[in-house]
Structure 1
Amino acid sequence: MSNSNPYKTKAYIALTTTSIIWGTTWVGSKAAVHFGMPGLEVSFVRQFIAGSIFLAYFLFSGESLPTLKQFGWLLLLAICNFVFANGLSTWSLKYVSSGLAALIGALYPLCVVIIELLFFNKRNYNLLTLAGLLVGIAGVLFVLYENAFHEQPVGYGFGILLGLIGMVSWSFGTILIARNKYQMNPYYAMGWQMFLASFMIFGLAKTVQVPLLGIHEIPLQAWLAIAYLIGVGSLITFIAFVYTVRYLPPALSSVYAYINPLVAMLAGYWVLGEPLSVNLFFGAIITLAGVYLVNFSLKK
């Protein structure tokens, strides 16, 4: 028993790290956009550098290249988890606050339930699941209704749409990961997904004609934000998250999902001066309560 205590203590530290830092990455992405860097460019630069670091480490450690079948799954997951989920969510930060973007992203458990009901005919949900769905949707509607009475920047609705598409894509990616085992080291697989996604995000930016900055045109502040996203958000926090999952029960290790949006709202208010009203914070609490009820009903 005594041997497990140090690991559990470190796991709680890792959980705290994950909960706080992943919330601040929304603000880091928003900061890069705020300093003039297009959201899609922020995303593909981040994924290219972080993915290259992961791949370099594992390839030099002797990992073999993925099989053709594995490569196909990696490509599909890269599209769901990074091209649309991360790319579009980062793009949305041009139009919405980091707190609201994080709150939309936190809706993915609700979306997973709806997708499985509609496309996979999964019917083992109960009244608590339905109650959670209704509460979560009510919380989001409350936030959007409250925002409707304040002047919003041009493109606010488009930003909401981008965030929702990104969240739905992450939900599909979550379902694909749960239903298919491609027998790879998760860090190594993540590196491939990031690396592949970076090129597709670049292609998406060119396709939708997002004006990109040259390397020499990117402001120092934006580079510092990207360095934070890569070093702290993509590398350190993923290591902390896996450590958390390994040594803490799933119900406890998933607590980060309820803390991230609140951290993003507070950090956005303190760092970037984003608006934070009582109604917005109250709506976020309602939404996250619905997400908790859904997760709790599924675990039961």
Structure 2
Amino acid sequence: MTIKQKAYIGLVATSILWGTSWVASKIAVQQGVPGLEVAAIRQFLGGSLFVLFFLIRGEKFPTPKQLLWLTGMGMLLFVIANGFATVALLYIPSGLAALIAALYPLSVVVIEKLFFKNTKITAITFIGMLLGITGIGFVFYDNAFHNYTEGYIWGLLLSVIAMLSWSVGTIIIARNKVKMNAYNATGWQMLMGSFVLMIMVLVSGKSVPITSVPVNTWLAISYLVLASSIVAFVAFIYTMKHLEPAIASLYAYINPLVAILLGTLITNEKLTINIFIGSLITLIGVFLVNRSLKKQREQALTDPDAM
């Protein structure tokens, strides 16, 4: 099997596993365990396995400077992005949460434009952003009537904050990469993030003793650690290394659809024609924005003054 074939298998695995992780997370928080605690346990176990593996292989501990960087990234990617998104799943459907998370390229455009002045809002970019927001509007409107629960707006707000935090984290990582093995760095980010999450859980006063965590929650967390935090992350990084960015990013359009369909089958979330159409409109918008960004990057490489 060639490297490229392995990379395509990695792309399929990433798309499906990250799609199923939304439903698994929802199952975990539905058993009475707070979302932050679920995220803390998940990131601690996943991060520990990553870090232990690389320490056994002879990797050195991060320097104090690297550890500070990894903690900061862990805050953005695994405390706010993953932690808040997990909490939100108690209030909103997993498919909607996955769809909001898929909007991060749109927020990257806005952040880059506002703070770095190096992204142009072209006609295609604008249309893509408009479609993305319109599609979410369709899904939001329909969910408000079919899947509305107490705390629905709170769940939406947490999901948007989580998506924005992921956007900021990806921008910072792209601009200031730490000199470490990417898999090892991910493990340390998870581990440092888990410590912060544990502190937040203790401060909140809302936690479930480890011995009282339901079996279904443990099963969901085990799946999240093995399938999503380890296998999918390894597959994702491998895919990014060996496939064109435009192809490697296809997972972002597939995993929300997996989450929506699986949520309908497993957690009885309603799937209406409006939700399906809204989801497709959103993903088309995200695709157009990504395509616009790709063209701008290619133009910048051939003509540095174009940006």
Please indicate, yes or no, whether the TM-score normalized by the shorter chain is above 0.5. yes
Shorter-normalised TM range: over 0.9
- The answer on 1:293 being equivalent to 2:288 is yes
2:186 to 190, 200, 204: 190
* Residue 47, structure 1, aligned to residue 43, structure 2: yes
Instruction: Return the offset for 1:151.
Output: 6.2
Determine if the alignment matches structure 1 residue 212 to structure 2 residue 207.
Answer: yes
Q: Distance in 1 between matches of 2:5 and 2:184?
A: 27
The correspondence for 2:274, drawn from 253, 269, 279, is: 279
Residue 175 of structure 2 is aligned to residue 170 of structure 1: no
- Cα distance in 1 between the residues matched to 2:159 and 2:231: 25
| Residue 156 to residue 142, structure 1, CA distance change in 2 (3 Å) | same
Instruction: Tell me, in whole angstroms, the C-alpha distance in 1 between the residues paired with 2:159 and 2:204.
Output: 17
**Structure-2 residue corresponding to 1:248:** 243
Alignment partners' CA distance in 2, 1:115 and 1:145: 27
Identify which of 12, 29, 33 aligns with 1:33. 29
1:17-96 alignment, distance < 5 Å: 17-96=13-92
Give TM-score, length-normalised by structure 1: 0.95
User: What amino acid does structure 1 have at the position aligned with 2:108?
Assistant: V
Q: CA deviation at 1:181?
A: 2.0
* TM-score of the pair, normalised by structure 2: 0.93
Structure 2 CA distance for aligned equivalents of residues 62 and 150 of structure 1: 53
Q: Do the aligned partners of 2:28 and 2:221 also contact (CA within 8 Å) in 1? A: yes
Corresponding position of 1:270: 265
- 197-206 vs 239-248, which deviates more? 239-248
Q: 1:96-115 maps to which residues of 2 (within 5 A)?
A: 96-115=92-111
Residue 149 of structure 2: aligned partner: 153
Equivalent residue for 1:135?
Answer: 131
Alpha-carbon distance in structure 1 between the residues aligned to 2:103 and 2:70: 24
Equivalent residues of 2:147, 2:270 under 8 A apart:
no
**Offset of 1:60 from its aligned partner?**
1.8
Aligned AA (1:178): A
Q: Using the alignment, how far apart are the partners of 1:277 and 1:245 within structure 2?
A: 34
> Which SS does the other structure have where 2:289 is aligned?
helix
Q: Which amino acid aligns with 1:235?
A: I
Q: Secondary structure at the match of 1:148?
A: helix
How far 1:165 sits from its partner (Å)? 0.6
In the aligned structure 2, how far is the partner of 1:114 from the partner of 1:271?
A: 36
For residues 53-103 of structure 1, what are the alpha-carbon distances to aligned partners after superposition, in whole Å with 9 as ceiling and x for unaligned? 111111121111212221221111011001000000000011011101101
Between 1:78-87 and 1:141-150, the stretch displaced more is 141-150
Partners in 1 of 2:71 and 2:79 — Cα distance? 10
> Could you say if the C-alpha distance between residues 299 and 154 of structure 1 is closer, same or farther in structure 2, counting changes exceeding 3 Å?
same
Task: Give the superposed CA RMSD.
Answer: 1.3
Q: What amino acid maps onto 2:281 in structure 1?
A: I
Q: Structure 1 counterpart of 2:216, which letter?
A: Q
Alignment partners' CA distance in 1, 2:200 and 2:114: 29
For 2:304, the equivalent position in structure 1 comes to none
**1:90 counterpart letter in structure 2:** T
Shift of 1:125: 3.6
Amino acid at match of 2:270: P
Task: Report deviation, 1:15.
Answer: 1.1
The CA distance in 2 between the partners of 1:85 and 1:269, in whole Å, is 24
Number of aligned residue pairs: 295
Structure 1 residue corresponding to 2:252, chosen from 249, 257, 263: 257
For 1:26 and 1:116, the matched residues in 2 are separated by 28
- Give 1:21's aligned amino acid: L
Q: Which residue of 1 aligns with 2:224?
A: 229
* Same amino acid, percent of matched pairs: 52
Give me the whole-angstrom Cα distance separating, in 2, the residues matched to 1:228 and 1:151.
Answer: 25
